[in-house]
Amino acid sequence: MQKTVFVTGGARGIGEGVVRRFAAGGWRVAFCYRRSADRAQALCRELPGLLAICADVAEEADVSRAVAEAQAAFGHLDALVCSAGVAQYGLLQDVTPAEFDRLFAVNVRGVYLCCRAALPDMIRRRMGSIVTVASMWGEVGASCEAAYSASKGAVITLTKALAKEVGPSGIRVNCVSPGTIATDMTRALGPETLEALRAETPLGALGTPEDVAEAAYFLAGDAARFITGQVLGVNGGFVV
């Protein structure tokens, strides 16, 4: 039977890479986006059969509607990939409470809401896989990204705890932890900072969305059937 995945933040960056990888693997793919309607529509034209849904992962009603729409279209979800995320750069004392709250609303609350919406049917079917997307800074912290690091650290801990909670129901929960990936988000750092990060990476290169997507695809699929509660670093050796 053809498998189905729901991907958050699927219109750009890592999420787009995930959508493309699962589609190439023969999965039925539903994905949500918040503001990138043009890119979402272009992706659907390029890869017929995708289901694009406009939704803010920080809003409970949006998430409930999006997951229900995906389930109605495809019957069930075999996998959920939580790749939607936002970043915030700067000294902690310069991060406003509103910016801090938005980081956690998208990066942490969004994962919680999506898992909460997808789990009941997975538990009923006693099968399913959830893949979260964190960051190497959630593992070790980054100067001038303290709030972002904290949000991604929360994703890692949530992943591990949820894996223990739903494992007896036949559901696996794992995390992909990217390093510096060439996306619109990281381009905001500027060429000098990106070059410094590249030089510090043992493999001497920045990652691509495809690199992260390949890891997510592996963790979601049957090849990883005995893997749960793990954090798979995709960082070129920056964090070991």
Instruction: Indicate which residues carry an active-site annotation.
Output: 148
CB under 8 Å to 105, separation ≥6 — which residues? 58
Contact 15, 216 (CB under 8 A): no
Integer Cα distance of 230 and 162 in angstroms = 11
Q: What is the DSSP string of 148-175?
A: HHHHHHHHHHHHHHHHHHHGGGTEEEEE
Contact 213, 17 (CB under 8 A): yes
Q: 188, 213, 237, 232: which is closest to 79 by C-alpha?
A: 213
Any idea how long the chain is?
A: 240
Which pair of tokens denotes residue 107?
Answer: 């990066």
Rounded-to-integer distance, Cα 56 and Cα 66, Å: 9
Q: What is the CA radius of gyration of the chain?
A: 17
* Paired sense of beta strands 51-54 and 171-178, if any: unpaired
Edge-to-edge strand list for the sheet holding 4-8: 51-54, 28-33, 4-8, 79-82, 128-133, 171-178, 231-234
> Largest alpha-carbon pair distance within the chain?
52
